[in-house]
Amino acid sequence: MTAGIKTVLHPVSDLAAAKKMYAALLGVEPQTDGTYYVGFEVEGQHIGLVPGGGPQNMTAPVAYWHVPDIEAKLAEVTAAGATVVEPVRDVGAGRLVATVTDPDGNVLGLLQDR
């Protein structure tokens, strides 16, 4: 079982312009505001801006499904036909992420907070 999609990351080419636009859209200032990442918290959802697609080379937004056990869910979805793009990695503060593609090539994120 998942807790649903609670995190969506967007690759951006101009972080300052994107930050301004998303702040206007969401009606809040960023909770995290760095040169490598800008994150907003709104109504239990996290919206992140990733300059240049970040180290994962994102080319489109990625929705992250929150799961209680990322390793188990990764094994489950790969057994069901998903392909691992980015294996489980710790991105700090006890947060683990991974990405897979479905059989049609859509990128899906998995996220576990410890």
The vertex-42 CA angle with 105 and 18, nearest 5°, equals 65
CA distance 84 to 20: 34
How far apart CA 69 and CA 100 sit, in angstroms, is: 15
The mean pLDDT of the chain is 95
* Higher per-residue pLDDT: 114 or 33: 33
Segment 10-38 mean pLDDT: 97
pLDDT, tens digit, for every residue of 30-53? 999 999 999 999 999 999 999 999
Do residues 87 and 70 touch, judged by C-beta distance below 8 A? Answer: no
Q: Domains, the chain, ranges and CATH? A: 1-59 (3.30.720.120), 67-113 (3.10.180.10)
Give residue-wise pLDDT tens across range 43-102. 999 999 999 998 888 999 999 999 999 999 999 999 999 999 999 999 999 999 999 999
The end-to-end CA distance of the chain, in Å, is 16
In whole angstroms, what is the distance from residue 63 CA to residue 51 CA? 17
**φ/ψ of residue 21, rounded to 5:** -65, -45
Greatest alpha-carbon span in the chain: 42
Question: By three-state DSSP, how is residue 59 classified?
Answer: coil
